[in-house]
Amino acid sequence: MDHKKIAEYAAIFATMFALLATIPAYAPDPPAPPVPTFPMPSAKACAARINATGTLTLKNSTNGDAFDLNINITFTSLVPNTIVPNDYDAEFHGFATAPGDHVRLDGLMVADGINFWAAFTVDRPSGLSERRYSANGPLDLNISAFALPPQKITMVEMKGNVTTFDDKDAFGFLEANVKTGTHNFTNVHTSFTLQPPPRNGEGDENGAKNFTRSFYIVNLANATKTEMDYDGSALFVEGYWNVYNKTITVTHFDHEEETTVINVQTLLENRSGTFNVTLTPQTSPVMEKGRWKTQGNFTLDIPDLEDMISGNVIFYHAKFADQSDRNIPRCDFIQDHIVNMADIGQVAKAFRAKYGDSRYDPELDIDGNLIIDMTEIAGTAREFGQEY
């Protein structure tokens, strides 16, 4: 790495730590804005207490080395109403991270042919390195009814890559976050283009100097139904959507100046549609850029838009929480259940990267302005140290 890059990264880290010093420790997020009343969320799912015992095989995603992890844990989870209190022979297919003294596991339980998402934490045994693993194996489950305290809510954070728009290749990013319980809140946002990111050549970090790109932007205007049943729909949202077309023209001049012209056109407003997330048991998950490439699929179907939007799920997490608890961190880019120096490193490496640069990653682009800048530094700094 040259001295200029070292100096730039040092300046980024110094700025991030300066921002950290100004942020109150563990300040709660402001209450989510109220949305119109709609039928009870999670109507197809119920809270349950689960005792799981057995042995999972953890495989190192880098070299394939295996480690047997003994499981004997009791935790709470949402399960489909079709899962009745009983004993089950189940399979677990998911992921494990081993930060510090614990191993955090999340993935799909498969019991009687029914899938449901689960997350739990066990002590890290000696001999298990602090890294990411795939986790698979049989578990014996005892599932019993559990009355969730009325003040508790369910939080969901989901991120995905848009891959197709009807039968055409698409390139973009989708994010959804949900709170259901005493105060319901659902948000889904996506931005995608049918044109591949511009590049001057393979491996060129600077991208094309001059280009025009047209993006579709879709926002959830109002949710009328939000459900999580984990059998077929890890997340289902029915509601009204707004669709925009955003055209961005970037022009570079010989003296290194740049102009950016943005035009936004409203295509549809308050049109009905459905968003559906399905999670898939991954027995051999694929890693890409240090993250799991896919954990399932999603579709966003707005009939008036004619073509369906679909893609891959790259992150999914749900938890029971209090209304005042912090959201599930958005800036855990490497998915190790904590926002730490590894995530700061992701932002630092992409700092000043713009759409079209090989270093640009839409997941890092918190505000969707097509450049990794101080907004992303501040966002990661605010969440630094948060675990989930």
Domain ranges of the chain: 15-31+325-388, 45-145
The model's confidence at residue 358, banded by pLDDT at 50, 70 and 90, is confident
* Maximum Cα interatomic distance, the chain, rounded to a whole number of Å: 71
Reading the block at residue 148, the tokens are 């969730």
∠357-361-362 over CA atoms, to 5°?
A: 115
Reading the block at residue 184, the tokens are 């319901």
Mean pLDDT in residue range 109-117: 91
* 282 phi, psi to nearest 5 deg: -105, 100
Which residue matches tokens 């095989």?
Answer: 57
Reading the block at residue 302, the tokens are 């707005």
Number of Cβ within a 10 Å radius of residue 358: 17
DSSP type of residue 380: H
pLDDT for 242 = 97
Q: Which residues contact 214 (CB under 8 A, 6 or more apart)?
A: 193, 194, 195, 245, 246, 247
∠163-169-172 over CA atoms, to 5°?
A: 45
Helices (H), the chain: 3-21, 341-350, 374-383
Most confident of 13-27, 34-48, 187-201: 187-201
- Ranking 161-165, 249-253, 286-290, 329-333 by mean pLDDT, the lowest is 286-290
CATH class entry, domain 15-31+325-388:
mainly beta
pTM: 0.83
pLDDT for 25 = 44
Mean pLDDT in residue range 168-193: 92
Burial of 144 (0-12, 13-18, 19+ CB in 10 A): exposed
Stated as kind and residue range, the H or E segment containing 249 is strand 235-252
Cβ atoms 160, 298 nearer than 8 A:
yes
Which residue matches tokens 């280009």?
Answer: 211
The model's confidence at residue 260, banded by pLDDT at 50, 70 and 90, is confident
Name the residue among 317, 297, 298 with its Cα closest to residue 94.
317
Query: How many Å apart are CA 42 and CA 77, to the nearest integer?
Result: 12
